[in-house]
C-alpha cells in the first residue's frame, strides 16, 4: 500500500494549477449517454479515479469512451445496455447518475445500490421521487433499483425536500427527453449544475433556470453529441487556498473562480488571511495570527461541506474557539478522531465540532476516512511538528490529481511512498459500504 508522508513547517509559495471539477465531469459523462446521434467531446477532464470508474460504467453500458490528454470523446449511438452492476457502482456513488439518462433514452434502468464516502447515510429517495413523478415504475430488490417506463417519461412539477445535487442532476437529465415540461423546485444551485445544463443545451436540450432553485426543462425528441469544457474544481482550489493559509504561505491558485468560492474567501478573510483576485486566479497570503471563526456548511451558495474537513484543519491553528456545524451530511466528522491523534482539541456536540485552538499539532500515523478527510489530514500535516503519515490514499485519488506533486512543487516537504503490507496500521480494515435507500432522518 501507499502512504503520503509529510513533514510540517514549510511555507508554501508559487502557483498551482486547478483541474476540471470532479463533481461537474461525472454528471456530464453520464449525460453523454442521452445522445443517440453524434459524438461528444469533453475538455478539461481531470485524471481522477472517479473519472476512470464512470468511464468503465459507460463502456459496460455499450458506450464507446476514450480518454486522452484531458479530453474525453464519447459515442453513445449504439443500443445501450440498461443494467449497471455492483462491481463498478459500489466504488462510486455518482454512478447512480446513469439512471436518469438511461430511463429517458431507453425507458429502463437497473442499477446496483450506489457506494460513496463514509460520510453518513446517503439516501436516493429524492431521485426516485422525481422519476416516479415522471411516470416511472420504481422497484427495489436484491441490492438493485429498477426503474421502468412504457413509452416516454412525462413532464411533471417536482419539489425536492432538500436541494440534493445528485437528485437535481438526475431529474434534469431524465426530463430532457420527457414529453412536455418539467419544473423542478427547491433544486440545488451548485455551479456544477449550471455546467451540466450548459452541456445539455449544447446537445439540443431546453433547460433554463439552472443555478437557481427553480429549473424548467422542456422535453425534446432527441439529443446529439456536443463539445463542452468542464469548469475548474472549486473544491480542489479551496483545498490549496487552505493549504497556503495554514502554512502562512503566498500562493496563486490558478484558474480558481472567485464567484464559486465566495463563502471560503469570506471565512479566510475573517480569519486574517489575505485573499486577492488576480488575472488568472486567486492569490492567498497567510498570516501568523490566524483568528478563530464559526463555519456552517450549507447547500450552495453556503459554505460547501466538501471543504469542511480542510477548514477544520485550518481552524486547529487559529487562536480562540471555533464551531463548525455540518448540516448537509449527518456523519461527516470522521476526521476528528484522526486530528486528535495529531494532538487536536476538538469536542463533538451533535452536528457541531467545537475546536479549542491554536493546537500544538504533532505529526502522527493517520487514516484518510474519506476523500476530503484525506486532504484535510495532509493539510494538518503541513503545519504539524514532525512527520505525518496518511494511509488509505484511494480516497484522495478519487478527487485530487497528484496532490503530493502539486504540494511538493509549492515547497512542501512531502512524498508518496509504497510501504510493505506488514507495516500497515491495524486500522486498515476493509470498509463497510454505508449506503442505504429510504428517508433521510432529517426529512422524517
Ligand X SMILES: C=C(OP(=O)(O)O)C(=O)O
Residue ranges for the known binding site for UDP-N-acetyl-alpha-D-glucosamine are 93, 122-126, 306, 328
3-state secondary structure of 199: helix
Helices (H) and strands (E) in the chain, counts: 14, 26
Q: Which of 117, 144, 159, 359 is catalytic?
A: 117
Interaction residues for ligand UD1, span 186-215 (CB under 6 A): 188
**Residue 261 grid cell:** 468560492
Residues 19, 233, 236, 306: which binds ligand UD1 (CB under 6 A)?
A: 306
- Distance between CA 32 and CA 80 in Å, rounded? 12
Which partner, ligand X, ligand UD1, none, binds residue 125 by CB below 5 to 8 Å per kind?
Answer: ligand UD1
- Contact segment (CB under 6 A) with ligand UD1 among 100-108, 115-123, 198-206, 351-359 equals 115-123
Which partner, ligand UD1, ligand X, none, binds residue 162 by CB below 5 to 8 Å per kind?
Answer: ligand UD1
Q: Collect contacts of 24-27 with beta carbons under 8 A, ≥24 apart.
A: 24/191, 24/192, 24/195, 24/196, 24/230, 24/231, 24/233, 25/51, 25/230, 26/50, 26/51, 26/54, 26/92, 26/94, 26/97, 27/94, 27/97, 27/169, 27/173, 27/192, 27/196
Cβ-proximal residues to 420 (8 Å cutoff; 6+ apart), any chain: none
Decide if 393 contacts 4 (C-beta within 8 A). Answer: yes
Which partner, ligand UD1, ligand X, none, binds residue 114 by CB below 5 to 8 Å per kind?
Answer: none
Closer residue to ligand UD1 in complex, CB, 306/338: 306
Closer residue to ligand X in complex, CB, 10/395: 395
**Residue 31 grid cell:** 449525460
Closer residue to ligand UD1 in complex, CB, 13/186: 186
Closer residue to ligand X in complex, CB, 252/396: 396
User: Any bridge partners for residue 223, and if so which?
Assistant: 35
Decide if 236 contacts 227 (C-beta within 8 A). Answer: no
To ligand UD1, the closest distance from the beta carbon of 50 in angstroms equals: 8
Which partner, ligand X, ligand UD1, none, binds residue 399 by CB below 5 to 8 Å per kind?
Answer: ligand X
Q: Which amino acids are annotated as binding site, given as ranges?
A: 22-23, 93, 122-126, 306, 328
Decide if 186 contacts 212 (C-beta within 8 A). Answer: no
Which partner, ligand X, ligand UD1, none, binds residue 123 by CB below 5 to 8 Å per kind?
Answer: ligand UD1
To ligand UD1, the closest distance from the beta carbon of 249 in angstroms equals: 26
3-state secondary structure of 400: coil
Under the binding rule (CB under 6 A), the answer on residue 123 touching ligand UD1 is yes
- Distance between CA 222 and CA 6 in Å, rounded? 52
CA 83 to chain centre: 24
Under the binding rule (CB under 6 A), the answer on residue 239 touching ligand UD1 is no
One character per residue 26-45, x = contact with ligand UD1 (rule: CB under 6 A)? x-------------------
Active site residue 117: yes
Q: Of 427, 402, 426, 424, give the one whose Cα is nearest residue 415.
A: 402
Q: Which amino acids are annotated as binding site for phosphoenolpyruvate, given as ranges?
A: 22-23
Q: Report which secondary-structure segment, H or E, holds 228.
A: strand 227-229
Under the binding rule (CB under 6 A), the answer on residue 162 touching ligand UD1 is yes
Which partner, ligand UD1, ligand X, none, binds residue 361 by CB below 5 to 8 Å per kind?
Answer: none
Residues that bind ligand X in the complex, under the rule CB under 6 A: 23, 93-94, 116-117, 306, 371-372, 399
Q: Of 325, 414, 335, give the one whose Cα is nearest residue 370.
A: 335
Residues that contact ligand UD1, how many (by CB under 6 A): 22
Under the binding rule (CB under 6 A), the answer on residue 166 touching ligand UD1 is yes
- Per CB under 6 A, residues contacting ligand UD1 are 23, 26, 93-94, 121-127, 162, 164-167, 188, 305-306, 328-329, 440
Task: Just list the catalytic residues.
Answer: 117
Amino acid at each position: 500500500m501507499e502512504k503520503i508522508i509529510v513533514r510540517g513547517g514549510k511555507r508554501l509559495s508559487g502557483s498551482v494549477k486547478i483541474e476540471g471539477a470532479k463533481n461537474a465531469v461525472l454528471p456530464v459523462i453520464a449525460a453523454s449517454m442521452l445522445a443517440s446521434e453524434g459524438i461528444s467531446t469533453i475538455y478539461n477532464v481531470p485524471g481522477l479515479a472517479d473519472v476512470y470508474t464512470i468511464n468503465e460504467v459507460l463502456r459496460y453500458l455499450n458506450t464507446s469512451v476514450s480518454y486522452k490528454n484531458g479530453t474525453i470523446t464519447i459515442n453513445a449511438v449504439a443500443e445501450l445496455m440498461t443494467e449497471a452492476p455492483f462491481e463498478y457502482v459500489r466504488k462510486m456513488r455518482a454512478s447512480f447518475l446513469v439512471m436518469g439518462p438511461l430511463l429517458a433514452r431507453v425507458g429502463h434502468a437497473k442499477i446496483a445500490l450506489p457506494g460513496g464516502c463514509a460520510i453518513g447515510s446517503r439516501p436516493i429517495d429524492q431521485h426516485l421521487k422525481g422519476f416516479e413523478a415522471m411516470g416511472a415504475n420504481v422497484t427495489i430488490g436484491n441490492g438493485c433499483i429498477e426503474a421502468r417506463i412504457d413509452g416516454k417519461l412525462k413532464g411533471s412539477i417536482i419539489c425536492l425536500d432538500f436541494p440534493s445535487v445528485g437528485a437535481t442532476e438526475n431529474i434534469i437529465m431524465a426530463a430532457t427527453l420527457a414529453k412536455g415540461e418539467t419544473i423542478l423546485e427547491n433544486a440545488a444551485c451548485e455551479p456544477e449544475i449550471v455546467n451540466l445544463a450548459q452541456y445539455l443545451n449544447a446537445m439540443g436540450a431546453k433547460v433554463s433556470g439552472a443555478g437557481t432553485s427553480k429549473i424548467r426543462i422542456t422535453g425534446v425528441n432527441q439529443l446529439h453529441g456536443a463539445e463542452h469544457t468542464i469548469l475548474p474544481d472549486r473544491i480542489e482550489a479551496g483545498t490549496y487556498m487552505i493549504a497556503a493559509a495554514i502554512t502562512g504561505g503566498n500562493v496563486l491558485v490558478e484558474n480558481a473562480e472567485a464567484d464559486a468560492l465566495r463563502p471560503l474567501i469570506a471565512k479566510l478573510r475573517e480569519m486574517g488571511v489575505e485573499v486577492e483576485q488576480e488575472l488568472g486566479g486567486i492569490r492567498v497570503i497567510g498570516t501568523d495570527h490566524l483568528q478563530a471563526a464559526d463555519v456552517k456548511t450549507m447547500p450552495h451558495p453556503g459554505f460547501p461541506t466538501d471543504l469542511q474537513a480542510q477548514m477544520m484543519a485550518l481552524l486547529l491553528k487559529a487562536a480562540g474557539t471555533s464551531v463548525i456545524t455540518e448540516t448537509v451530511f449527518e456523519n461527516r466528522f470522521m476526521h476528528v478522531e484522526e486530528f486528535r491523534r495529531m494532538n487536536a482539541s476538538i469536542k463533538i456536540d451533535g452536528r457541531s465540532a467545537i475546536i479549542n485552538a491554536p493546537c500544538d499539532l504533532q505529526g502522527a500515523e493517520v487514516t484518510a476516512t474519506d476523500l476530503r478527510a484525506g486532504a484535510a489530514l495532509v493539510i494538518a500535516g503541513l503545519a504539524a511538528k514532525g512527520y505525518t503519515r496518511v494511509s488509505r490514499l484511494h480516497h484522495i485519488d478519487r478527487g485530487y490529481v497528484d496532490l503530493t506533486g502539486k504540494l511538493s512543487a509549492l515547497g512542501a516537504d512531502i512524498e508518496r511512498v509504497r510501504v510493505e503490507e506488514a507495516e500497515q496500521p491495524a486500522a486498515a480494515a476493509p470498509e463497510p459500504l454505508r449506503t442505504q435507500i429510504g428517508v433521510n432522518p432529517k426529512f422524517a
